[in-house]
Structure 1
């Protein structure tokens, strides 16, 4: 079994995946807030 050395692994793919996930979560939150505001305004 190989010895693990901290900081040597290529994590570019994981970083791109995490960035995409965070972008999706951020946009989802913005859309949900906008929908809730719209619903509150329509129901007056």
Structure 2
């Protein structure tokens, strides 16, 4: 499940790189009780 979340973080980064978004939020989680979390907020600066 964590790999799918990391893929979503990559998709969010693509929105920053291609200019379709200024700020994005992405989340990945793993573990038996989903106790391992990674939250990424990325922002493009002009």
TM-score band, normalised by shorter chain: 0.3 to 0.5
- Whose helix fraction is larger, Structure 1's or Structure 2's? 1
The TM-score with structure 2 as length reference comes to 0.38
- Whose strand fraction is larger, Structure 1's or Structure 2's? 2
Q: Which protein, 1 or 2, shows the higher relative CO under an 8 Å CA cutoff with sep ≥ 6?
A: 2
Q: Which of the pair has more CA radius of gyration?
A: 1
